[in-house]
Amino acid sequence: MLRYHYVDVESLLSTSYGKESVHAIKRGLLWQQRDKLFSRWKERYFILTRDYLHCFRRASGSDRISEMGQFLFKVKLIDVERVEWENKKDL
């Protein structure tokens, strides 16, 4: 299970990374917590497409062009059984 906290999501017409061109519905930063004991919240960059939720590390450094860093994983939306939303303002 992954839990997410909304930070900032903006609309995107299209983007590409690697060899794969992706039509993005939304993209932006979310706080993610993996389902592990003593798991911490981490800020990640996500891209939502019609079929997948793509997760990237947040880019670091002052010379970054965007918030998107190294690719971590993608989740096929048809395989998602449950979504849990947490709106925490104290992060």
pTM of the predicted protein model? 0.65
For 42-66, what is each residue's pLDDT tens digit?
899 999 999 999 999 988 876 666 7
First to last CA, the chain: 20
Residues in the chain, overall count: 91
More confident residue, 14 or 64: 64
Contact partners, residue 56, CB within 8 Å, separation at least 6: 44, 45, 46, 47, 68, 69, 70, 71, 72
